[in-house]
């Protein structure tokens, strides 16, 4: 009888452990099982250097979504970024999407100015106005190797 009691307790413990692992996988992986409370938008950029799938999407510094997919439109030579935005956030067709950097050399994220002068974007709508990330490394290398031109008018004013 003791043998079956011990096996039952171990079985219950294993099932409870598996349920906990499953719950943590869903929560940490941001997987929605019962329903999706977000919608998809698309933005087209000339370059998305440093942006990754899962990068945050911010409006006014508030996290409102994630980058879902990044693919290339070879016909138009554009990078297509699919983003997921919370359903209660309204984005208009005059919105501006730009890729920004957290700090000086931090991770990239997508910042959206939601607009407000046009019509609301529907799911799978396209944000037309976009700004690619400023490449800090390229600017530093230009400065370090003397490719940045000095303004001659400013030099005369200083003397």
Q: What does the pLDDT profile of the chain (159 residues) look like in tens digits?
A: 677 888 899 999 999 999 999 888 877 766 655 556 888 999 999 888 888 998 899 998 899 999 999 999 889 899 999 999 998 888 888 888 998 888 767 788 999 998 887 888 888 888 888 888 776 677 777 777 776 555 555 444 444
Q: Are 46 and 132 in contact (CB under 8 A)?
A: yes
What is residue 120's DSSP assignment? B
Task: Record the pTM.
Answer: 0.65
pLDDT at 32 (0 to 100): 57
pLDDT at 159 (0 to 100): 47
What residues have CB less than 8 Å from 14, skipping those under 6 apart?
none
**Interatomic CA distance for residues 159 and 156, integer angstroms:** 5
**Interatomic CA distance for residues 137 and 112, integer angstroms:** 24
pLDDT at 70 (0 to 100): 92
What is residue 123's DSSP assignment? T
Domain map of the chain by residue range?
1-35, 38-136
């Amino acid at each position: 009888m003791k043998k079956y009691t011990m096996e039952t307790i171990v079985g219950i413990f294993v099932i409870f452990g598996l349920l906990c692992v499953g719950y943590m996988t869903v929560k940490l992986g941001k997987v929605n099982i019962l329903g999706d409370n977000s919608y998809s938008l698309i933005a087209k950029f000339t370059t998305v250097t440093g942006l990754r799938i899962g990068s945050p999407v911010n409006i006014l510094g508030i996290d409102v979504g994630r980058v879902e997919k990044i693919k290339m439109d070879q016909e138009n030579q554009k990078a297509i970024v699919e983003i997921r935005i919370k359903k209660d956030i309204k984005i208009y067709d005059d919105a501006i999407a730009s890729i920004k950097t957290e700090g000086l050399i931090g991770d990239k994220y997508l910042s959206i100015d939601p607009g407000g002068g046009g019509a609301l974007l529907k799911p799978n709508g396209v944000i037309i106005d976009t700004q690619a990330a400023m490449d800090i490394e390229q600017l530093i290398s230009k400065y370090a190797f003397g490719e940045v031109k000095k303004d001659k008018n400013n030099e005369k004013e200083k003397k």
